[in-house]
Structure 1
Amino acid sequence: MFTGIIACTGQLSDRQPHGEDQTLTITAPDFDFSACNLGDSIAVNGVCLTAVALDTHTFSADVSVETLTHTTLGALALGDRVNLESALTLSTPLGGHLVSGHVDGVGELLSRKQDARSERLTFRAPDALSRYIAAKGSITIDGVSLTVNNVTEHTFSVNIVPHTLARTIIDDYQINTAVNLEVDLLARYIERLLQDKESTPTLSLERLRALGY
């Protein structure tokens, strides 16, 4: 699990193919990977990856064809910047929201404009994800925890404050930039609870008490 609060940015320094899979190496001068262990989870642009090699300022991870196909990691070029976050621990302040690191889909930047000292960015979301995105709800864009401002049928907008622009790769975005999206965990679980009402007991106070809540 992650919080969506980016520790720093790094860059893709190597890509080694292994058939359809690949090993990606990330270099980050501001990230001390010596505090991590082999097998630890590190989020790269919001994608949870498992460290298979570590050095002081680099780490490598094996990336499956599934991840390369359904996230933006497969399109990264050598030297491209990425957002980095180490996994949440019980002592980590939850400054953002609970993020799984499992990308739900890829969105696209439609517009960006100045909004006082912030910037307002509008994205197109895949049709299958639009129903999970709500005004004032949370969304993760390339691993960054953000609050949704406005929602239409197929788009949503967020405001990016100067600190976030300076600490993440969002300032690199151009029109049509593809981004990894992860919707709020609660929205997905609520939908699942409401599915198949005939075969699933009705969610009620009595049902919650019976489940130990």
Structure 2
Amino acid sequence: MFTGIVQATCELVALEKRQGMHTLAVRLPAELREGLTPGASVANNGVCLTVTRVEDDRVFFDVMEETLSLTNLGAIALGCHINIERSLTFGKEIGGHLLSGHVQCQAIVTRVTEVGEQRDLRLSVPKRWMKYILYKGFVAVNGCSLTVGEVFEDGFMLHLIPETLRLTNLKDAVTGTQLNIEIDSQTQTIVDTVERVLAARQ
């Protein structure tokens, strides 16, 4: 489990592409490597990946074909910076909302607007997922827990404060950038339950 509070943006320093799988090597700072062992879960751009090995300051992850096709990890290149979050430790403060690290889809940035020090991103999302994205509701974007600022038929708006831009790779988003989306599981459960109840009454 994760909270959507990105702890660092870390550089992809090695990338091995094989049939059906890529191996990523991400350079993590010492504080994020502390106690990190093979088998641990780490969110990379919001995708829950398993640590396969740790060598000096590099942490390795294998990414399977389905994940490569569903998320933006299939398109990253050397030198890219990835949002990193270690898995939740119980007893710690939860500053965002609970996440599983299971990305449902990708959004495409269709507009970027600078509003003083704030930045607004308009995102386009596949229609099937829009019923779960609600005004003032939670959504995880590249692993970052954010509040939906406005909802449209085909997408939604994010209002990013300077601190979010400083701490995450959302500052690099431009028109056409693809971002990983994990919808709020509680919202999905409520919407699906209501739909089933209404369908049963018809």
Q: Give the corresponding residue for 1:207.
A: none
Shift of residue 134 of structure 1? 0.4
Q: Give the corresponding residue for 1:185.
A: 185
Q: Give the corresponding residue for 2:135.
A: 135
1:34–1:54 CA contact under 8 A, matched in 2: no
- C-alpha separation between the residues in 2 aligned to 1:144 and 1:101? 11
2:32–2:86 CA contact under 8 A, matched in 1: no
Cα-Cα RMSD: 1.9
Provide the TM-score with structure 1 as the length reference: 0.88
Letter of the aligned partner of 1:6 in structure 2? V
Residue 82, structure 1, aligned to residue 87, structure 2: no
- C-alpha separation between the residues in 2 aligned to 1:122 and 1:192? 26
Q: Give the corresponding residue for 1:20.
A: 20
Q: Give the corresponding residue for 2:174.
A: 174
Shift of residue 31 of structure 1? 4.8
Provide the TM-score with structure 2 as the length reference: 0.93
Q: Give the corresponding residue for 2:99.
A: 99
Letter of the aligned partner of 1:98 in structure 2? L
Instruction: Map Cα deviations across residues 155-186 of structure 1 (whole Å, 9 max, x no partner).
Output: 20011111110111011111110000011111
Which stretches of structure 1, 4 residues or more, deviate above 6 A after TM superposition?
A: none
Q: Give the corresponding residue for 1:32.
A: 32
Structure 1's 187 and 32: CA in aligned 2 closer, same or farther, altered over 3 A?
closer
- C-alpha separation between the residues in 2 aligned to 1:159 and 1:199? 36
Instruction: Map Cα deviations across residues 111-170 of structure 1 (whole Å, 9 max, x no partner).
Output: 121224311111111111111100000011100000001001012001111111011101
Higher CA-based Rg: 1
Letter of the aligned partner of 2:167 in structure 1? R
Unaligned segments of structure 2, at least 5 residues: none
Letter of the aligned partner of 1:149 in structure 2? G
